[in-house]
Amino acid sequence: MNKTENEKTKRDIQDRVYKLAICIETFFAIVIAIVIVLLAVKLITIIFQPGFFVDEESFSNFLKNALGLVVGVEFVKMLVRHTMDNVVEVLIFAISRHLIVYHLEIWEILIGVLCMAILFAIRKFLVVSSDEEKHT
């Protein structure tokens, strides 16, 4: 084998491994999406249980689970479309969920808000969204 045939074989193997990785990633995105749908149905049924509106802790758990599903949906979007915009959105949703659901100390809230501000600045000034790419 000469050098060019060797390089072509190497590229072919790399392409096949890459395609396999994409297939595996897509498979897991589908599995996660199915689980999110099933958990969303379960979450909706919780609303209709007696005593749901009486207990503040029930609402807090509902909110934690609902926001967890939202983060899951964003994660699936990130797996399907590999863009920096999706990665930043997942981080924004995850941090905002943490800030909303958990009872944090004031310094933890401050750090979370600073992280959110940094992520919004990154999204605004450093990440070119797909909508902006279409218009240029």
Q: What is the 3-state secondary structure (H, E, C) of 17-83?
A: HHHHHHHHHHHHHHHHHHHHHHHHHHHHHHHCCCCCCCCHHHHHHHHHHHHHHHHHHHHHHHHHCCC
d(CA 99, CA 82): 26
Q: What is the pLDDT along the chain (136 residues), one digit of tens a residue?
A: 577 888 888 899 999 999 999 999 999 999 999 999 999 999 998 888 777 777 778 888 888 999 999 999 999 999 888 888 889 999 999 999 999 888 889 999 999 999 999 999 999 998 876 666 666 5
pTM for this one?
A: 0.77
